[in-house]
Amino acid sequence: MDFKHVPVLYEECISNLKIRDDGIYVDGTLGGGGHASGIAEHLSRKGMLIGIDRDADAIEAAGKRLSDMECKVELVHGNYSEITDILEKLGVNGIDGALLDIGVSSFQLDNAERGFSYMHDAPLDMRMNRDDGFSAYDVINGYDKNRLTEVIRKYGEEKWASRISDFIIKRRKTGKIETTGQLVDVIKAAIPASARREGPHPAKRTFQAVRIEVNNELEQLERAIDRFCDVLLPGGRLCVITFHSLEDRIVKEAFNRRLNPCTCPKEFPVCICGKVSDVNKVTGKPIVAGEEELKRNPRARSAKLRVIEKKG
């Protein structure tokens, strides 16, 4: 299967990165290379693109797509949250910009065998890095009711979380839940018919929750923001695209902490901790997709882009 990825908010990302043709830029969520190829096209042979992805299939596919670029291209099979170590291994002291497109890629959703989609019947997997030993199968068949409920409620923002986990536990008594189709059937049985008639697919929130749990996505994102800000050179920009409120909240709060690093109690009349911001806010409200993009790519509907810039 071809590795397809429809880059979301493409023009907005390229514009906000303010790419210098001799700069060093990182795409921390390489995917099919859609955003990365746009960055690389703006770079001369003096420039450098570093692409990172947890998915070996992404590295292989993007490598083909980026093979004819004029700039230097370095592709790394790894996690973007390890950016500091990755740059050190590459001998790079700082970067001029970076992009993070958080969440699951179009390829991973469309490739049925990966088990990310509730629209295809496949083994329960959902691992972004197939070298990892822990999968959706382990969550669904191994977690107790309380832990399952917490995951589904916290990461899926699913109001029927307790009922869904109840039905999962009962279904497990007759045998392991091994496929996405079996899990969808359990979720549909758990959610009352009246609630299933409105809104998104009844399994959407639970699948999102399990995927986030399997891949430790929110912790990786929180860890990464400061690390990327640390490695930005003066004037360098970090662009982050999120797809649901949990991710966006993490980015917004991480940016705000970086913009206002003072740790003094609020009642202090003046700051005595001495912590000073090293970044400037570029976006207030997040940038969202326009009508034309939404017609071309419905998956862009929930996308939000936030941008921050290193001072200097």
User: Tens digits of per-residue pLDDT, 134-184?
Assistant: 999 999 999 999 999 999 999 999 999 999 999 999 999 999 999 999 999
Q: What percent of the chain has pLDDT over 90?
A: 88
pLDDT at 103: 82
Torsion of CA 198, 200, 203, 206, to 10 degrees: -110
Q: Is the pLDDT of residue 2 over 70?
A: no
State the average pLDDT over residues 184-193.
Answer: 97
Residue 96, helix vs strand vs coil = strand
Q: How far apart are CA 100 and CA 144, in angstroms?
A: 33
Q: How far apart are CA 58 and CA 33, in angstroms?
A: 8
pLDDT: which is higher, 312 or 74: 74
- Dump pLDDT digits (tens) for 74-101: 999 999 999 999 999 999 999 999 999 9
- What confidence score (pLDDT) does residue 298 get? 87
Residue 4, pLDDT > 60, answer no
Average pLDDT across the chain, whole number? 95
Write down all domains in the chain, each with its CATH number in brackets: 10-101+217-310 (3.40.50.150), 118-215 (1.10.150.170)
Reading across the β-sheet that carries 232-242, which strands appear in turn? 72-77, 48-53, 24-27, 95-101, 232-242, 304-310, 279-281
Among the ranges given (21-35, 97-111, 128-142, 269-283), the one the predictor scored with the smallest mean pLDDT:
97-111
pLDDT score of 43 more than 70: yes
pLDDT tens per residue, range 112-139: 899 999 999 999 999 999 999 999 999 9
Measured between alpha carbons, how far is 254 from 221 in angstroms, rounded to an integer?
10
Mean pLDDT over 215-241 rounds to 97
Measured between alpha carbons, how far is residue 250 from residues 102, 222, 306 in Å? 11, 6, 11
What's the Cα-to-Cα distance from 160 to each of 56, 105, 229, rounded to whole Å?
35, 26, 38
209 with 151: CB under 8 angstroms?
yes
pLDDT of residue 1: 44
Predicted local confidence at residue 199, as pLDDT:
83
Query: Which pLDDT belongs to residue 5?
Result: 53
